[in-house]
Amino acid sequence: MASLYAHIPFCVRKCEYCDFYSGVAGDAEIELYLQALDREFALRAPKGLRPDTVFIGGGTPTRLSAQQLRTLAAILGRHVDLGSCREFTCEINPGTLTPDKAQALAAMGVNRASFGVQSFDQKYLRGLGRIYEAGTAPAAVQLARDAGIARISVDLMFALPGQTLAEFHNDLQKALALGTEHISLYALTFEDDTPLTRDLQSGKVKPASEELEREMFQLADEITARAGLPRYEVSNYARPGAQCAHNLVYWSAGDWHGFGAGAHAMIDGEISANAADFKHYCEHLAAGKLPLTRQDKQSPLERAETLLLMGLRLVQGIDLARFRAFAGQDFTRLCGEPAARLVALGLLELTATHVRVTPEGMFVLDNVILELAAGMGVSA
């Protein structure tokens, strides 16, 4: 059973750090987009599509009105059988959730809300360009719970310009105080061609030091473990049984369908991507044409590389039998030399069944992956 991702590329305001495909739009444009999304499902959705997990992301899906969310639910109802869906996540900006929207999401089938909180400190929200007040996050979480959405995840960012270890500690404690089952923690990265990066280049902001970022990384491990949410992926922490099932599909190089502008999909090693352009997407579908900008089949080694890139993010690591099934060769045959070096350095652990990055290796995960990928003769 494949998973399903749908992209809603609209925001009230574009955040300063964001390089995901999203933008500001009015209700008329949103209506056109929903019509186009309906057409894409009609053209591309496999007959009898019964996803195991569903994820509605963005952008800000809750930029849509309650009625537009109900329209989205109707689109899914026409093209997707949700009877076997065990996890249905929707991303939510706390400042855009209302009681009516929360009820619409619950009626759609959403049983997991992923809140993009980023910080509980107003000065950092302003610096990130977030459009809500810090105090609204707990109220928004309660709205979701009151609507019957039982599973709650909170996204936080750290290593923000000027942020102290104590301030990050405070953000963690406030997230945990909400009773959340899942926390995603992301170190701020300065992406190309974003307002925040331009501020960095002009000297307006300064990045956190590597030492402070490392201290925050370690603190997160300690605090979440004590609270009963151990790390299960480099940036994600959850109570036992509350790991994000949809994201585990990505990290294990599983299959998913993707719909919407800028959405990607992977089915049996075939990757496809839609145009990350709202107008292009709508115009093509209005003409009965798919808005695809990429469609290609991975080779066995490329599939194994994808598993390497994604699977080593997981604390449990990669199942060597799965790697062999993708690559057609054993991991040690392809990556034995660099793997041995990394094991000797204490950055990698190799067992009879799995290869995984050690806690120390998590600090330099990108370098570990690059070295292993180079050993395979492919570029990460």
Instruction: Encode pLDDT of 227-280 as tens digits.
Output: 999 999 999 999 999 999 999 999 999 999 999 999 999 999 999 999 999 999
The set of residues, in sequence order, having a beta carbon less than 8 Å from that of 261 and lying 6+ positions away, is 7, 9, 21, 33, 274, 275, 276, 277, 278, 280, 281, 291
The pLDDT value recorded for residue 18 is 45
The pLDDT value recorded for residue 195 is 66
Q: Please, where are the H alpha helices in the chain? A: 27-44, 66-79, 99-108, 122-128, 136-146, 165-177, 195-201, 210-226, 245-251, 278-286, 300-311, 320-327, 331-344, 359-362, 365-376
Share of the chain above pLDDT 70, in %: 91
- What domains can be seen in the chain, in order of their start residue? 3-250 (3.80.30.20), 300-376 (1.10.10.920)
Question: Which has more pLDDT, 187 or 312?
Answer: 312
Share of the chain above pLDDT 90, in %: 81
Global pTM value: 0.91
Position 136 confidence tier, pLDDT thresholds 50, 70, 90: confident
The pLDDT value recorded for residue 356 is 98
Position 145 confidence tier, pLDDT thresholds 50, 70, 90: very high
Position 338 confidence tier, pLDDT thresholds 50, 70, 90: very high
CA distances from 206 to 13, 202, 363 (A): 23, 10, 21
The pLDDT value recorded for residue 341 is 97
